[in-house]
Amino acid sequence: MSENCIFCGIVAGTIPSTQVASDDRAIAFMDINPATRGHLLVIPRTHSTDLREASAEDLTAATLLAQSLVGRVIERLDADGANLLSCIGADAWQSVFHTHLHVIPRYKDDPLQLPWHPTPGDLDEINATAATLT
């Protein structure tokens, strides 16, 4: 439990949330600013700032819960697909610093768009970057 963490408050029940699923390591609840109908957040019960800090057990539990919710939004909300998203760092749009996975149901004609415009990259640059990462 981390003081002043909204999501720890949700786990503790001191901050209200609309939960839809849980197990002993993770819980899933509705996002209050839904990108689409049924937008969910899945969080480990144990506090970690972001995915880098979360334990393998917590990440496994959160990912498996997210997997089951993807199936549920497709079945019960008639979604056509879903996006999973985890933001790591403020520059990557993270605004709540407790590890979470967004489960965003997608519908054929929903207004969401990719936030970048895919254009071919420079192959030398791509390969040089790969070398740095290998």
What residues line the site for Zn ion (CB under 5 A)?
2, 5, 7-8, 47, 98
Q: Which is nearer to Zn ion, 6 or 128 (CB)?
A: 6
Q: Which range, of 20-28, 31-39, 55-63, 67-75, touches ligand 5GP by CB under 6 A?
A: 31-39
Residue 7 near residue 50 (C-beta atoms within 8 A): no
Catalytic residue among 39, 47, 98, 100: 100
Residue 50 in contact with ligand 5GP, rule: CB under 6 A: no
Q: Report the nearest approach of ligand 5GP to the CB of residue 27 (Å).
A: 11
100 is catalytic: yes
Q: What angle (nearest 5°) sits at the alpha carbon of residue 74, between those of residues 27 and 50?
A: 35
CA distance 11 to 41: 12
Kindly give the pairing relationship between strand 81-85 and strand 40-44. unpaired
Residue 83 in contact with ligand 5GP, rule: CB under 6 A: no
Tell me how crowded residue 13 is: count the other CB atoms within 10 A of its CB.
9
Q: Which is nearer to ligand 5GP, 30 or 126 (CB)?
A: 30
If DSSP codes are grouped into helix, strand and coil, which group holds residue 73?
helix
